[in-house]
Structure 1
Amino acid sequence: MSPIAPFPMSRPRRLRRTPGLRAMVAETALSADNLIWPVFVTEVAGADIEIPSMPGVTRFTVDSVKAAAERAARLGIPAICVFPHSDQEGKTDSCERAWDPDNIGNRAIRAIKEAVPDLMVMTDIALDPYNANGHDGLVRDGEIVNDETVECLVRMGLAQAEAGADILGPSDMMDGRIGALRAALEQNGHSNVAIMSYAAKYASGFYGPFRDAVGAGARLVGDKKTYQIDPANRDEAMRCVARDLAEGADMVMVKPGMPYLDICRMVRDRFAAPTFAYQVSGEYAMLEGAIRQGWLSRDVVVEGLLAFRRAGCDGILSYFAPDVAEALATTAGRG
């Protein structure tokens, strides 16, 4: 290793002097290609409003989500992720609407693919939007049962693939669901449908606004600690990622995002597989709330997304996606 040049011959500030120099030596890049936009689609009359705990985020109807998809395509965002907000009265303990071909999620998939065929549509596979008790799995005598739930999740995933989804996102954290889903896709003519597994999903307090957005929070009985990862654990997350990749996941996700950047880095370094993170609702709410109060500059949004990229993420699910893509396009246009 060559010795460090004595001061003042070594001046790192030389390369920070102008925007052009800083851009020339930037080690990490962020573009619209790195973004997935999560959107909420509602079947509830009058619920297509701004979500109080997520200022600036609204629920779309099936018709208005088409316009959102067209906006994403114009901005170069490659994928949009659909999360359903369903009628509370239609939720049941058996969750049968989760695999109904005409549920709100599947109708939204078809509408988006009709409006913008080349835009990739990602889905969420978990029972909570349709579950009377708010859990991701079936509940029997107070226990979230694993194997019965996996059977339901497979049916849900197949219905989404039939509707035209490009990427399935199992977020339930049941054991064995990736292998079961991959096998079912292969057997039913959907071998080209990709799986982005929520492989390292933690039992986090940062999900609260999301549960409001999909209408699952008020009905949640207990917590999700028996199937989501303990925030104290890193090695367990690595085992879950290894298992999901071995079972056929094409991509893996860490959730939440910024509080778990160490996990993102470990996943990328250890597995060299396409790695994504979800900048979840609580992260969004904190940043957007502080920005609106004037406590933070909006520059922190891009700074935060760069942190995901620097930690090794190939992409980020972010509610900021369209605004960031628009800002990046404007900056590129000036160049």
Structure 2
Amino acid sequence: MKDLQFKRHRRLRQSAFMRDLVREYHVSTDDLIYPLFIVEGAEKLRNPISSMPGVEQISLDLLPAEIDELLQLGIKAVLLFGVPNEKDAVGSGAYHTHGIIQEATRVIKQYAPEMLVIADTCLCEYTDHGHCGVISNGDVLNDESLELLVKTAVRQAEAGADIIAPSNMMDGFVTAIRHGLDEAGFHHVPIMSYAVKYASAFYGPFREAADSAPQFGDRKTYQMDPANRREALREAASDIEEGADFLIVKPSMVYLDVLSDVRREFNVPVVAYHVSGEFSMVKAAAQNGWIDEKQIVLETHTAFKRAGADLIITYFAKDIARWLRG
């Protein structure tokens, strides 16, 4: 064997400390954004989401304790979803001054001003039909929906949201919201756009968590076809031109190619959204003893970083923070 010439790649894998020393990508708590589902009215309510083990809807009075836990774990940003008591055809609860996300934002900012609050800006949780805009003759109207989304974004900014995250996938939603925020004096509030959002089957458990399932049809006329890769770059380019400050790719686990494409093409923070179905599959397999949950989750989230994500929206944020602490 002494005459053979080959590379000794294993030299850099011989011990845990050596592997740590040469590791190329790392997940940290600074990367993590934790979604919260906030309900109206009831006190001390923790409503478990049956399809998402460990995830709950919580009432406003429990928010301070939740924020305390997150801050102690080193998690510095939350993404808020509202679950209102009442819904109507135009989602008026989304842009009411005292809408549930607005109230949750005020509670968080009063209790812990340093926590970054990202407000999901959409109508689907607030409409009785479950779609992300105004309906006419069974169709989701684009431009009419933009007006309501702008009102929602402005109300969220007024309540103290640090970042507006529009998730509706209407054409022109970024430029409409940017104009509306600027007109209202919120030039400093950035937009984290759900720029690349596929009409994915992986959103199923979220429908339960946010009570937002469409009452008819589906969202394929405004969310993207999972078969399309190049279209993602067109969508993202439009949002950058219109004023987006962050780009979200959703889902992420089975769209790493798209995440990588977006990272290469655009020089803004890119956000991976590890969605509910991806979360629930890992949880179910772990509960059955089929996989090592910790190792699978850390490997998955490292893959998001390797593909180019700067930030990760994940229901595993608390678990990851605890695992990283050892």
Normalising by structure 1, we get a TM-score of 0.93
Moved over 3 A (4+): 6-9, 44-47
Does residue 1:28 correspond to 2:25, yes or no? yes
Match of 2:75, as an amino acid? I
> 1:56 deviation in Å?
0.9
Could you list the per-position Cα deviations for residues 237-285 of structure 1 after superposition, in whole angstroms to 9, with x for gaps in the alignment?
1001000011000000000011111000000001122100100000000
**What is residue 75 of structure 1 aligned with on the other side?**
73
Structure 1 Cα separation of the partners of residues 4 and 53 of structure 2 = 49
| Unaligned residue ranges in structure 1 (runs of 5+) | 1-5, 331-335
Structure 1 Cα separation of the partners of residues 184 and 322 of structure 2 = 39
Does residue 1:61 correspond to 2:59, yes or no? yes
Aligned-residue CA RMSD (Å): 1.5
Structure 2 Cα separation of the partners of residues 85 and 95 of structure 1 = 12
Counterparts of residues 240-319 of structure 1 (less than 5 Å): 240-298=235-293, 299-319=295-315
**What is residue 150 of structure 1 aligned with on the other side?**
146
> 1:48 deviation in Å?
2.6
> 1:44 deviation in Å?
5.5
> Secondary structure at 1:130's aligned position in 2?
coil
> 1:11 deviation in Å?
2.1
Structure 2 Cα separation of the partners of residues 167 and 68 of structure 1 = 20
- For the 8 Å contact 1:123–1:168, the answer to whether it is kept is yes
State the number of aligned residues: 323
Counterparts of residues 124-163 of structure 1 (less than 5 Å): 124-163=120-159
**What is residue 228 of structure 2 aligned with on the other side?**
233
Match of 2:66, as an amino acid? A
**What is residue 51 of structure 1 aligned with on the other side?**
49
Normalising by structure 2, we get a TM-score of 0.96
- For the 8 Å contact 1:73–1:116, the answer to whether it is kept is no
| Unaligned residue ranges in structure 2 (runs of 5+) | none
- For the 8 Å contact 1:86–1:214, the answer to whether it is kept is no
The percentage of counterpart residues that share the same residue type is 44
> Secondary structure at 1:49's aligned position in 2?
strand
Match of 1:195 among 191, 196, 199: 191
Structure 1 Cα separation of the partners of residues 227 and 204 of structure 2 = 19
Match of 2:172, as an amino acid? G
> Secondary structure at 1:124's aligned position in 2?
strand
Structure 2 Cα separation of the partners of residues 284 and 321 of structure 1 = 11
Could you list the per-position Cα deviations for residues 178-230 of structure 1 after superposition, in whole angstroms to 9, with x for gaps in the alignment?
0011111111111111100000000000001001111112x531100000000
> Secondary structure at 1:206's aligned position in 2?
helix
- For the 8 Å contact 1:43–1:61, the answer to whether it is kept is yes
> Secondary structure at 1:27's aligned position in 2?
coil
Structure 1 Cα separation of the partners of residues 280 and 41 of structure 2 = 23
> 1:9 deviation in Å?
5.6
- For the 8 Å contact 2:199–2:223, the answer to whether it is kept is yes
Match of 2:236, as an amino acid? V
Match of 1:98 among 94, 98, 112: 94
- For the 8 Å contact 2:12–2:19, the answer to whether it is kept is yes
Structure 2 Cα separation of the partners of residues 130 and 8 of structure 1 = 67
Match of 1:37, as an amino acid? Y
Structure 2 Cα separation of the partners of residues 7 and 316 of structure 1 = 45
Match of 1:61, as an amino acid? S
Counterparts of residues 319-330 of structure 1 (less than 5 Å): 319-330=315-326
- For the 8 Å contact 2:90–2:133, the answer to whether it is kept is no
Could you list the per-position Cα deviations for residues 280-331 of structure 1 after superposition, in whole angstroms to 9, with x for gaps in the alignment?
000000011111111110211111100000000001000000111122123x
- For the 8 Å contact 2:84–2:93, the answer to whether it is kept is no
> Which moves more between the two structures, 168-177 or 65-74?
65-74
> Which moves more between the two structures, 186-195 or 312-321?
186-195
- For the 8 Å contact 2:120–2:165, the answer to whether it is kept is yes
Could you list the per-position Cα deviations for residues 60-112 of structure 1 after superposition, in whole angstroms to 9, with x for gaps in the alignment?
1111122111222222212101111122xx11112111101111111111111
